[in-house]
Chains A and B, each alone.
Chain A
Amino acid sequence: MEGLFTLAFVAQVLRITVPYALAALGGTLSERAGVIALALEGMLLGGAFTTTIAAYATGSVALGALAGVAGGTLVAALYGLIALRFAADQVVASIATNMLLFGLTPFLSELAFGSSASSPPIPGLGPEVLLEPLFWVALALVIAVAWMVRRTAFGLRLRAVGDHPDAAESVGIPVMRVRWLAVLMSGGLAGLGGAWLALSAAGFTDEMSGGRGYIALAAIIMGKWRPSAAVFACLFFGFAEALQLNLQATAGGGVPRELVQMLPYVLTIVALAGFIGRSRPPGALGRPR
């Protein structure tokens, strides 16, 4: 264990945590407004893909990141169209949205790069996480969103819309508009998470979201739908993942890697069952009007 908790290790934890945290942050906004955030996986994947296209075309990391935000928002707009405009079942709409992205991104990757499996290398992030402007942008977003949900009028509206939409409407809050805003913002944040994935790997690979959207959802539930707590849950998951990677690389590890991999999911089930304090979702979560 000695020599494990070095600066390099901390950097590795942060590198793994950033996409989780951005997606979880976005998902918290969406769920607090009463809209299920199961499409995070598709938003991450969409963001990673548009980032790759833009960074490949322009050679710019910043433009790539912006394209990631746009890509995630676009996926969110599609999800919002089905889930909000047509008031469809949000779980099914989310799963179909994810399915679409898992088919569309390799198709478009083949179209753009001649390979559905991976893209050519793009300009990516350097080895030092703390020297990356994108890391500080992500950190600022974490603080800003946590503050927004808790301290601003918009945050109050968001929570009102998610818990008591009828009451919110009766005092003049435009429920649908707030929900749309929350969903689009969740797409933008998750899209930036996807951008981080693509830039971190310096390219797109098929299915590169790898279930991170679901881990982010797990973190939201672990964090009891509070942005800062969700981010801390992500940090914990990132820590466990980095620890596992290191143990594997060094000693071979006494703990089977599968058992570490399933940790976030087991913890989520335990949290939902109420064994570590009641984890109660927003009142109107998943209910179309």
Chain B
Amino acid sequence: MTTSVSPNNTLRRELYATALALLVALAAGSVLILTWGESPARVYGTLLAETWGSAYGIGQVLFKATPLIFTGLAVALAYRAGLLNVGAEGQMAAGAFVTAVAGAALPTDTPGVLAVPLALSAGMGAGALVGALPGWLRARFGAHEVITTIMLNFVIAALVMWAGRAGFFVIETTHTAPIVAGAELGSLGLGTSAANLSFVLALVFVVWAAWFFGRTRTGFEWRVVGASMPAAEASGIRVRRVIILAMALSGAMAGAVGANTVLGDKHYFEEGLARGAGFMGIAVALLGQGQPLGVLLAALLFGTLAHGGFEVNALVPRELVEVLQAVMILALLATSAAVRRAAETAPATPATNATTTTNTKQGA
């Protein structure tokens, strides 16, 4: 009877909703492909073959997935404490910019064991600051983090351009000076792909987040705050501190994107680097149900689509994959609501009693 509210059943429900959303997205994509006059089987087949069918393809998928793991974790971290961080885009830009500036400012002979952590922690620190500001505004003034983070995205984009033009960009370009050799992250050696060691770093963060959510006191406190801020306050949790800390950590995670794009690939910061990965982090976190492992899987899926879209561009416009990604999220929002509703109404059948129905409603 009460199985309808058990975690096991909830998970099955969410997986069902996710599978349904993927099907809807595939179907919508097929319609667009047919409109274009191509065969869906051929396009999807090419997409798969060119991504997971070769070492280079796999490497490119991992390369595209890496920033999404960072930003997806960033969104999931804040969401655990009940906060929606729409500012990963700006935190990421600030982080990558500072990573590049710090990496270029180091003495040229700095060894890797020193240069990489220094450049990266400078970037993550910048991301943390950009994240902590809306956290503080929320905790201190009650300014909603959704709006302040959106607005900060634009402020950061402008500030980075301004700082760049004021002296950090190489003259007549929109990119910074190259980082020192020691700060460069090694390649994963998957064909000629751009996949680099930052993917391993991302995996480490996934494991850390799983441990943090599941095994630490702070992680538990965040969850209480996320469930109900007044209840958390009443039980003695310092909610304001949690809000600021959660946003700062979230920002730091988004700031780590520079490891992939700057330290691992370009070796400098360029205007528009990894643009959109911050917003995509929201989609990735949602698709991954806010769970670290789910974020990893969702990022790999979106990474596959991102590189796959590039590869099928000869058959259909690559914008197709952007549509697929968006439809997936919209469909997931709809199907999870529909599946939730179905689960709510199911116990109302004569086989069960009225108590179950009320339980289910409270659970949802």
Contact = CB atoms under 8 A, between A and B. Distances in A.
Interface of A: 38, 78, 81-82, 85-89, 91-93, 95-97, 99-100, 102-104, 106-107, 110-111, 116, 211, 214, 217-218, 221, 256, 258-259, 261-262, 265-266, 268-269, 272-274, 281
List the 4 closest A-B pairs by CB distance, nearest first: A103-B322, A100-B326, A88-B333, A258-B162
B302 to A, nearest CB: 11
A259 B337 contact: no
Interface string B136-151: 0100111110111011
Given A96-B329, A111-B36, A82 B162 contact: no
11 contacts: A88-B333, A88-B334, A96-B330, A97-B330, A111-B36, A218-B151, A221-B147, A258-B162, A261-B154, A262-B158, A268-B147
Nearest to A268: B151
Contacts of B86: 91, 95
Interface string B153-164: 011001101100
Contacts of A218: 151
Nearest to B286: A92
B325 interface: yes
B177 interface: no
Interface of B is mostly: helix
Interface of A is mostly: helix
B73 to A, nearest CB: 17
Nearest to A271: B143
B325 A272 contact: no
Nearest to B320: A107
Interface of B: 32, 35-36, 84, 86, 137, 140-144, 146-148, 150-152, 154-155, 158-159, 161-162, 165-166, 279, 282-283, 286, 317, 319-323, 325-327, 329-330, 333-334, 336-338
B349 to A, nearest CB: 23
B162 A104 contact: no
A107 B323 contact: yes
Given A92-B282, A256-B165, A256-B166, A82 B154 contact: no
Given A214-B151, A266-B151, A272-B143, 20 more contacts: A78-B330, A82-B333, A85-B334, A87-B337, A88-B333, A88-B334, A89-B84, A92-B329, A95-B86, A95-B283, A96-B330, A107-B322, A107-B323, A111-B317, A258-B165, A262-B159, A266-B155, A272-B144, A272-B147, A273-B137
B359 to A, nearest CB: 20
Contacts of B282: 92, 95
Contacts of B166: 256
A107 B155 contact: no
A91 B322 CA distance: 19
A265 B154 contact: yes
Nearest to A218: B151
Contacts of A274: 141-143
B156 to A, nearest CB: 9
Contacts of A262: 154-155, 158-159
Contacts of A214: 150-151, 154
Contact of A99 (B140, B142, B279): B279
B320 A86 contact: no
B159 to A, nearest CB: 7
Contact of A258 (B84, B141, B159, B326): B159
A86 B21 CA distance: 14
A95 B279 contact: yes
Nearest to B151: A265
A104 B155 contact: no
A87 B144 CA distance: 20
A92 B333 contact: yes
A265 B338 contact: no
Contacts of A272: 137, 141, 143-144, 147-148
B158 A89 contact: no
A258 B143 contact: no
B48 to A, nearest CB: 20
Contacts of B150: 38, 214, 217
A100 B327 CA distance: 7
B326 A93 contact: no
Nearest to B36: A111
Nearest to B279: A95
A86 B333 contact: yes
A38 B147 CA distance: 9
A42 to B, nearest CB: 10
Nearest to B164: A258
B322 A261 contact: no
A110 B36 CA distance: 10
A272 B144 CA distance: 8
Contacts of B336: 88
A93 B333 contact: yes
B334 A96 contact: no
A211 to B, nearest CB: 7
A97 B279 CA distance: 12
Given A81-B334, A256-B165, A266-B155, A91 B146 contact: yes
Nearest to A285: B144
Contact of B329 (A99, A107, A110): A99
B319 A96 contact: no
A95 B151 CA distance: 14
Contact of A106 (B151, B161, B317, B334): B317
A259 to B, nearest CB: 6
A102 B322 contact: yes
Contacts of A111: 35-36, 317
A106 B319 CA distance: 7
A96 B32 contact: no
Contacts of A259: 158, 162
B152 A265 contact: yes
